[in-house]
Chain A
């Protein structure tokens, strides 16, 4: 475990203490040997400056502003990093926790906030347009309703999903 401790030491130096505490990294980081197996991440192939090893250990965790780091939201939750980690670590799970904190502090990309707003207020990730209605009618499919949207909004409210969203009154009805 000497190497592991070394990584722990190096990483802690680079990682703001508040972040280490907030995400329980003391239990997590010592085991990351930076073996680079998680380079299997498909996003590394096409997104500049993104690799789970770099993003995970340095870029996101040790960033001055981990919650505002744009690389955080590039994780597509494919779970490949988790599949191949020899220690069963899951960068993905950690990213999810940091994503949640990033969202709570209003640091997520605007498209993320829009998606969440759409889901909690309409029940769907995409808006139903007259084009949708026409296509469905032509195919003999029943029209889409928003009958479930009220329940979705209620559950979103009691579980905290709407905390950081401004909901206009007319959308509540």
Chain B
């Protein structure tokens, strides 16, 4: 019997972008990825600074989340690269090292938890790609988005470490491109696909670096005539969308570029009304795209 899936939204989506949680709940079951009733996970926890500062606590807190899924006999589908990165790495560490698992379980016993290692975690793009598949995905598309010239940004933490995330070739990623192509989007191949969004540099007090990352990426996509950036991670989304608004003065060489989270486009391609995508709440909007999303003539 196939295990049910639990949605792991992550802090950023459930707190700041809950409409993405809603879209996942509504759309994934329609394409064959059933989602069980929401349970409340806590922070994955964050894989860069939190893990860097306190590696073992990171592992135990991740194990707690994995336990919550295991208690429901479920697997996890995550909506954020950072969450998937943490959960996948922690899961492999625990599954491959019985001594470490025992140690972690001794700590988890303090809250009455025990992890056996039976949970499978996947990012939603991975679940769509592997379980639904491109051909079946295409069969759900009633309104191909052929007017979009999209540049994909899979994001570092979904690609690496590749032997654990098992999503795509980190040096030449194509999976997100194929998923975009399935929605009818014209895929723009460009140099700079694997550049980091730079969102976490701000945590390291390097705002300049973070702005440069934003600018470098947008100049790269612009050079290849992409008219939007397509992501599957709320942190990359926030950096590119809110970042362009906050740093407008520093980005004078850059055309404002709208950013879409893959599920928003999946919804539109499946005939979901524009209003339900919450694209109108984005900081960077393309009037031309919005008219086409609404089915109006541009």
Binding site for B on A (CB under 8 A): 42-43, 45-48, 50, 70, 73-80, 82-84, 95-96, 99-100, 102-103, 108-112, 115-116, 119-120, 123-129, 132, 135-136, 139-142, 144-145, 147-149, 151-152, 154-156, 158-161
Contacts and interface: CB of A to CB of B under 8 A. Distances in A.
B16 interface: yes
B192 to A, nearest CB: 9
Nearest to B203: A111
A154 B111 CA distance: 8
15 contacts: A50-B209, A76-B198, A79-B170, A96-B51, A96-B55, A103-B52, A108-B49, A119-B42, A124-B15, A124-B43, A132-B16, A139-B18, A142-B38, A151-B42, A156-B61
Contacts of B195: 42, 45
Given A42-B196, A103-B54, A128-B15, A77 B61 contact: no
B147 interface: no
4 closest Cβ contacts across the A-B interface? A46-B212, A99-B52, A47-B209, A78-B156
B48 A83 contact: no
B15 A126 contact: yes
A151 B63 CA distance: 12
Chain B contact-residue range equals 35 or more
B209 A83 contact: no
Contacts of A42: 156, 194-196, 198, 213
Interface string B210-246: 1011011000000000000000000000000000000
Given A70-B204, A125-B11, A160 B57 contact: yes
A116 to B, nearest CB: 6
Contact of A80 (B50, B51, B160): B160
A136 B15 CA distance: 9
A148 to B, nearest CB: 4
A116 B50 contact: yes
B11 A124 contact: yes
B61 A155 contact: yes
Given A115-B46, A160-B57, A161-B54, A74 B107 contact: no
